[in-house]
Amino acid sequence: MSWLLTPYVERRTCRVLFYLLLGLPLGILDFTIVVTGFSLGLGLIVTLLGIPVLVVTLLVVRSLAALERGLAVSLLDAPMPRRGPARDRDSGVFWARLRGLVFARRTWEEAGYLILRLPLGTLDFSIAVTIIALAVSGMVMPIVVAAGVPVSIGSWEIDTFVESLVYLPVSVIFLLVGPRLVLAWSGLSRRLATALLGRLEPYESKLAVVDVLARTGEADGFLILDELELRFGRGPFLTPTHVEATLLALESLGQISARRENGRTLYALAR
Amino acid sequence: MDEFGELSLREREAKRIARRQWFWLHLAVYVMIQVFLFVIWLLSSASYPWFIFPLFGWGVFVAAHAVYAFVVRDPEEIMIERAARQAGKRQ
């Protein structure tokens, strides 16, 4: 029983409910801006005016995604990689920055997330409102009937106090399980937000690994993973597989070298 | 393969198993709901076969989920396995 009631004393429940209720307005905003921007940009591309429109749309996508990321972190506790100020690929001359914006997989995942935000946000909003309505309706109905407001379910007119209690069991059930359902549903939203907004770009991991090896001289996979977790935080975006793939990529580029010692593989910057 | 490689392999295995379990759960929910809708259709005059709309509409997503669970592999996973194969050939 306490498992069912603890969400009532947790602050997280209110934050999650707020996030789900924000789903509809934010979904409409995100979808409208992204679809309008891309449609206008692609439609005008023959006049060359479309190119600046598309670039501005991509910049807006980045900003909206940053807003969504902030909301997912603060309201859903979604794990996201910690990033410092933009540098390396994001800095430098205008063309390099533009190339970074257009060719980064992250930009297109963020655009996909913003488009998906409308159907999923609508679903979030509907689920939250339905759970609240089901939890409250049974308690409100006797008051409404006592106030003389006509209430009917199909052809059945509810006009006595006893009849008005018909929804009470449903209400009690949803008062008990509703907050748990809200939290369970928010888990899916959190996973989606992390999957699409919280990805580490390969170049970010490569730079971080090179930084670690420059500092430590030589390190094995475990130490590199620990160092990357200190830098980016823990989450599904930073797994042993991700680190192993990054090390392999750097090795094949000739930027690092590997040697075996006592059953461990030690990595160092290539000389 | 060193200890870190084994950890990484176990993680990929766990992810693969979880993906398949989610798919079986999805399939079970899909089948139950479709049977439920079919029974409702059968009991309520059995005229226009409206139950085929959710059957095919949702079915597309179940099929996509099956592809994701059994066919699709992460690029990182492919890269690691390719490198392991190449290392095996060299030895």
CB contact under 8 A, A244 and B74: no
pLDDT at B10: 93
CB of B46 within 8 Å of a chain A CB? The answer is no
Residue ranges per structural domain of chain A:
2-116, 202-269
CB of A242 within 8 Å of a chain B CB? The answer is yes
C-alpha distances in angstroms, A130 versus A84, A85, A127? 40, 41, 5
More confident residue, A27 or B86: A27
For the domain A202-269, what is the CATH code?
Answer: 1.10.10.10
For chain B, percent of residues with pLDDT exceeding 90:
63
For chain A, percent of residues with pLDDT exceeding 90:
54
pLDDT at B90: 67
CB contact under 8 A, B8 and A240: yes
d(CA A194, CA A236): 8
What ipTM goes with this model? 0.78
Q: Which amino acid is at A75?
A: L
Instruction: Identify each DSSP E strand in chain B by its residue range.
Output: none
Closest CA to A62 of A114, A17, A122: A114
CB of A241 within 8 Å of a chain B CB? The answer is yes
User: Is the pTM value of this prediction over 0.90?
Assistant: no
Low-confidence ranges of chain A (pLDDT < 50): none
Among candidates A239, A241, A263 on the partner chain, residue whose Cβ is nearest the Cβ of B3: A263
Query: Which chain B residues are within 8 Å of A252, Cβ to Cβ?
Result: 83
CB of B12 within 8 Å of a chain A CB? The answer is yes
Among candidates A222, A240, A264 on the partner chain, residue whose Cβ is nearest the Cβ of B11: A240
